[in-house]
Homo-oligomer: A and B are copies of this chain.
Amino acid sequence: MFPRRAISSRRGFLFAAGSIVGVAGASRIARAETPKAPPGAVLYDVPADPTKEQGRPVADGSYGTRSQFETEVRMRYPTPNENTSWSLTPLDKSLGNITPSGLHFERHHGGIPTIDPAKHNLLIHGMVDQPMTFSMADIKRLPSVTRKHFIECSGNGLTEWNKPTMKTVQGTHGLLSTSEWTGVQFATFARETGLKVDAAWVLAEGADAAVMTRSIPMEKMLKDALIVYGQNGEALRPEQGYPLRLLLPGYEGNTHIKWLRRLQVSDKPFMTREETSKYTDLLGNGKARIFSLDMDAKSVITFPSGDMKLPGPGFYDITGLAWTGRGRIQSVDVSVDSGKTWYPARLESLAEPMCTVRFSFPWMWDGKTAVLQSRCTDETGYVQPTLKQLIAIRGDNGPFGSIYHLNAIQSWAVSEAGDVTNVHA
């Protein structure tokens, strides 16, 4: 028997008007601009009453696609060179925790290569007892593990240091995606090749036109590095390194070398272009950080977020994502008054290490101006800073200075008309 009183006492809370029969659609929440349908989408006729017409049959040999009414896409950042460009995940439309593989953000240094997996090998050499080459078939015979991790580009939010620039959360935070990755622990390979006693770093090299390379500490490689071939239950997508990628839980995105073809073991870092001229952080005191590999704890409200319009006062379920490169998210707080008051948010699920977790907070908007913020704490005790706190340490030295690792609290202003905008508050 259902506890009848409990229902009645809550009824009408979520929708102030009580019954909403007949007002369907009145409370629609829309982005200011409707995105266009992606090219190539198959358009089926929409019957007036779908119960009166036979539906489409099951196709033999099918790989399904989205509904023709679903149109969110990745947005390319307008760089001068489209070959060394990036595209951003539409976080404003994100649901749950996993990013659909087709919407995983991209960052390429020499475009997306087309690689035949039957001809792709991984060479492991350098300070090992026995250099070895592994075909994809060899790699798939090794014991595998599956783990859910985020990847965030260290340049995520690079436009937002000095003033609010991008309109949407796709623009401010879209270089973040989460997948279930499947592959083989680097430690498994190390048991096959052996390691010399002074082995301390590993150079990872991609088979793309940039021959992208990064040096990774051996401690990290043996702790939790994965050589992955699977993403969300199927093969890696081409943009994510098909057929093989290095996955370094919690490390900045560029180190997760895609199209991985070579691991060279050494006693020191290789000081490649990507760790000297790029991916270093000039600080406020004029010194620079290198090998700033861990992604700091960060969170963002994805709904409501920039460029949305709230239809009117009433109930809104504020929701967003929190993540940290240093373990698990411990808690998330939400403020609707620009940080004067903070309330604990509900975490959707048990936070997994180096993985996003969705949070939510029930908000009854009174129709007055508001500034929505989220702030997370990770299991090390680190608290996500305000932009002012971050700039005090990192400096505010423009696009040629500290463009990476912006993890400050994001603010979304809500006007009396319900317009949501990106602000520094």
CA A218 to CA B27, docked complex, whole Å: 29
Q: Is A324 an interface residue (CB 8 A)?
A: no
Q: Report the count of interface residues on A (CB-CB < 8 A).
A: 142
Cβ-neighbour of A58 out of B44, B76, B100 (below 8 A):
B76
CA A54 to CA B211, docked complex, whole Å: 11
Query: Which among A53, A60, A85, A117 has the greatest number of chain B C-beta atoms within 10 A?
Result: A60
Q: Is the CB of A64 within 8 A of B238?
A: yes
Cβ-neighbour of A114 out of B28, B47, B180 (below 8 A):
B47
Cβ-neighbour of A237 out of B64, B194, B232, B349 (below 8 A):
B64
Cβ-neighbour of A21 out of B50, B68, B87, B133 (below 8 A):
B133
Q: Is the CB of B62 within 8 A of A113?
A: no
**B-contacting 9-mer, from A103-111, A392-400, A408-416:** A103-111
Q: Is the CB of B85 within 8 A of A57?
A: yes
Q: Is the CB of B348 within 8 A of A146?
A: yes
Report A90-126 residues with CB < 8 Å from chain B CB.
93-104, 106, 108, 110-118, 121
**B-contacting 9-mer, from A7-15, A154-162, A333-341:** A7-15
- A residues touching B (Cβ–Cβ < 8 Å)? 1-2, 4, 6-8, 10-15, 18-22, 24-25, 27-29, 35-36, 38-39, 44-47, 50-70, 72-76, 82-83, 85-87, 93-104, 106, 108, 110-118, 121, 129-135, 137-138, 140-147, 180-182, 188, 190-195, 197, 199, 207-209, 211, 218, 222, 229-230, 232-239, 242-243, 259, 315-317, 319, 348-349, 358, 360, 362
Enumerate the 5 nearest inter-chain pairs by beta-carbon distance, A residue then B residue, closest first.
A55-B111, A96-B146, A50-B113, A24-B135, A95-B230
